[in-house]
Amino acid sequence: MKTLILPALLICLSAFPLHAQPACKLSDGKPLPPAKLEKFKSLLHSTPDKAAVHYAIALEYMEAGNSKQALEELTQSLSRVPWLDPTPEAAFKDLRSCDAFQALVAQLQKKYPPVVASRLIHTIPVKDLIPEGIGSDPVDGTLYVSSVHHRKILKISSSGDISDFVSEGQDGTLAVLGIKVDARDRSVWAATEAKGASLLFHFNQQGKTLAKYAPTQPGKHLFNDLAITSKGDVFVSDSDDGAVYKLAAGSKELIRINLEGRPYPNGIALSPDEQTIYVAYGYGIITMSLDGSNIADVQAPDDVTLAQVDGLYYRKGSLIAIQNGLGENRIVELQLSPDGKRITAGRLLEFRSPFVELPTTGTIYKDNLIYMVNTQIDHEENGELVRPETLQPVRIATMKLN
């Protein structure tokens, strides 16, 4: 995510003035380009999650070599103490000796201690799988795990046996991201993409290709995650196009739903009555009707950030979200108001834990969230592996949802 200067909004915690930093080397660096400033100014005006935007601005200032401005933006971001722990961010390494940075981290970690609620259930020995999506069969719990690098889908039986469900590149399969199992017939839908092209695939229970669908809208596409209604309507988020595509049951045409400029739509979930669809984007979560109307941002308390949600799931009046873009990776529960339009409270379910090395998506089966601990998605770029010598077997964990 990228950047912006807002002079009136740069507020430091008075208890930790920036001029008292004997061990801290702050630099002025470069100003941000006007286009980036305008982008972030617009985001601060449009999105409810101001903390996430200021955090992203801080990252951009660090990239520009302006650590002084970055620390001020980070201070503004964490002033209400959201759970955006900046400790693991490599970009902030030059701030770690600063008293103000250490004070921010200490305050945040005191409010949000580590939470470990998961246990390991499967290990996939294929180190270069690079999974992104995981789905579960609602009948027997069979798991389906995507592969970005090998362009295929693995199947893990209830007894733990691992096999290929969709073979590598089958019928033109691209890198596989989101996966969902259709509860009506136990067929499997998958979002696939490669270098700006995307295809939505439908496979039967045996892994045979039933159909594939391409967007007709020109430009770059990145089909990312999916939701399926009980009637068979399929919704897929398109992160590059800033849209959601709908495939109505029985139709062969993908219909584009414009998200009105909200960047990088990703996780997607349905309300139980199937009247509302929740879509996560770079800096928040929106609600909309299934026809694409009534788009509105979900509001949340100041200390709850809704940014950078990858996997998103509805469960018993709450959203379960996997966040992996800003600060420490985490799995959170977001309690919804009775009308489902705002978040009333947030709770960390897994945080500062060995089970959230780099999770992306999960699946809920019998009140358990099953998810991938270490997708290693940061080891793949445009079809090529990055730092392959550091890859590890893929671990899958589960946690009981109370």
Query: What range does the domain containing 311 cover?
Result: 118-400
Same domain? 32 vs 122: no
Confidence of residue 299 (pLDDT cuts 50, 70, 90): very high
The CA distances from residue 136 to 1, 84, 141, 273, in Å, are 31, 30, 5, 21
Whether 329 and 323 have beta carbons less than 8 Å apart is answered as yes
Where is the domain boundary, 92, 111, 130?
Answer: 111
Are 178 and 310 members of one domain?
yes
Boundary of a domain, candidates 86, 111, 136: 111
Does residue 123 share a domain with residue 104? Answer: no
In this structure, what are the phi and psi dihedrals at residue 399, rounded to the nearest 5 degrees?
-135, 145
Q: Are residues 123 and 185 in the same domain?
A: yes
The CATH number given to whatever domain includes residue 310 is 2.120.10.30
- Rounded CA separation 313/308 (Å): 14
Q: How large is the average pLDDT for residues 36-61?
A: 96
Does residue 11 surpass a pLDDT of 60? no
What average pLDDT score do residues 325-348 get?
97
Residues 96 and 47 in one domain: yes
Mean pLDDT, rounded, of the chain: 93
Residues 102 and 168 in one domain: no
pLDDT tens digits, 12-32:
333 334 344 446 889 988 899
**Residue 2 belongs to some domain of the structure:** no
Q: If you ran DSSP here, which 8-state letter would residue 333 be given?
A: E
Global pTM value:
0.92
**Gap between the terminal Cα atoms of the chain:** 33
Structure confidence by residue, pLDDT tens digits, 210-255: 999 999 999 999 999 999 999 999 999 999 999 999 999 999 999 9
88-92: Cβ within 8 A, 24+ apart: 88/327, 88/328, 89/59, 89/327, 91/59, 91/62, 91/63, 92/58, 92/62
How many domains does the structure of the chain reveal?
2
Q: Would you say residue 308 lies in a domain? A: yes
Q: What is the pLDDT of residue 23?
A: 66
**Count of residues for the chain?**
402
Residue 1 lies in a domain: no
Which of these three, 89, 111, 133, is where a domain ends? Answer: 111
Closest alpha carbon to 85 in 118, 52, 63 = 52
Residue 9 has pLDDT above 80, yes or no: no
- Closest Cα to residue 117, out of 310, 316, 376, 367? 367
Which carries the bigger pLDDT value, residue 350 or residue 10? 350
Looking at the structure, tell me whether residues 190 and 105 fall in a common domain. Answer: no
